[in-house]
Amino acid sequence: MMIPKLLTVFALAGLGAVTLAPDLVLKATDHRKLGKDVAAYWTARTEVEGIDESFSKLSTDIKKVDATLRKKDQGPLLALVADWREIFWTASQSILEDRKLKKGKITEEKSAEPVFTYWAPKKFSSKKGPAPIVLIVPDADQTAQDVLETSWADEAIRGGAMLVVVSIEGDPATWSGDAGFAAVMGTFGRVIRTNMFGFDFDRIYLAGHGKGFAAAAATAAYFPHLFAGLIGRGEIPSADPTNFRNVATYLGGGGESATFARGVEELGYGNSTTGEDSAAAIWAWMQEHTRNSSPAHITFAPPTATSRSAGWVKVTGIDLDGSPKVDAVADRASNTITITAKGVSIVDVYFNDVLVDLDQPVRVIVNGGTPHEDLFARNPKYMVDRAYDFGDWASVFTATASYDVPSTN
């Protein structure tokens, strides 16, 4: 299977999803069968050959499995978000080449730019499931070798997680903006394009040492829906926590840690931890904090005009002078999504059956205006194409709609 065309520096194709979840309905044989169909369709899209035929095969098998589920009152199939995450992980395994991964030692990957340094667990195999990954931004005076040898040498974290040190240069004063974001995402894009790392898309963590925290925090603020957590080590600078409602933070206690933690708590997020500045403590924290790809509440203040997405919402027409911000709440009990937005003109919403019950009409209210009430059909092609195009294969959405944002004045 060829790598999907979206594997570019800033297009994150998820080569890892979650391991088997406790709420799965399908059998493992169904995951494998549908995963094979999905892989064939993604390959056809990459090669621009046999697209219709491969999707027809997938569609036929979806209908067969769906019919069986409905007879058991377990369907519809497209409502089973956890199962589709497992199907997508199964499909993605066919493009992994983890045999090329150098395991159990610090390795510099320099076959292309940007060069990066990594540690992979000695016993890692994608056949056993995906692994968490930590993207580490060193302090201005640290080398990749130094940071891995001195700050990430704990046996437990080295035995369980991929550790990747980001290549970052230039004036540290610029790392809190586009320069920091570009360095982190540039390195992450290279990690993906090596096609070796079978990582878990619900367990991607950003860690910043000292001044490197600015780059890690900037990246998390640009793409809060991608990361499970943000880690600060050493004497960290200040950062704006507005976009971290669904990004847990662990702070080693130095520099502006207390100020940052206080800001998180004042926003009511309740997801900031201050603890020992050690890899062992961080590993223990990681076990308790994974990403929620369908959170009930999203708060997002776009830091730039090109930073538009946050989970199941996407904004268009960003007015940076108007302090843009969107707050979106999904209440499954009432099947209602309530959005408060300013400084943007359009909000796109992605739907799945975790957020709302798509068997029933869904109400969407924007800025207190007239409710939009619609019955959305679950669309298998949209779901599978979105996984290919967006690259986050642990986020499953089956319908979408766009809403104009009325003025609040």
The DSSP H or E segment spanning 145 is helix 144-151
pLDDT band at 248 (very low <50, low <70, confident <90, very high): very high
The tens digit of pLDDT for each residue in 145-164 reads: 999 999 999 999 999 999 99
The residue written with tokens 């997405």 in the block is: 309
pLDDT of 83 > 80? The answer is yes
What pLDDT shows up at residue 409?
A: 66
What pLDDT shows up at residue 392?
A: 79
Name the fold adopted by 98-286: Rossmann fold (3.40.50)
What are the domain boundaries of the chain? 28-95, 98-286, 297-404
Q: Which amino acid is at 111?
A: S
Residues 6+ apart with CB under 8 A from 191: 116, 118, 133, 164, 197
Calculate the alpha carbon distances from 328 to 259, 294, 312, 394 in Å: 26, 12, 9, 21
| Segment among 135-144, 186-195, 227-236 with least mean pLDDT | 186-195
What is the pLDDT of the chain when averaged over all its residues? 92
The tens digit of pLDDT for each residue in 102-121 reads: 999 999 999 889 999 999 99
Q: What is the pTM of this model?
A: 0.92
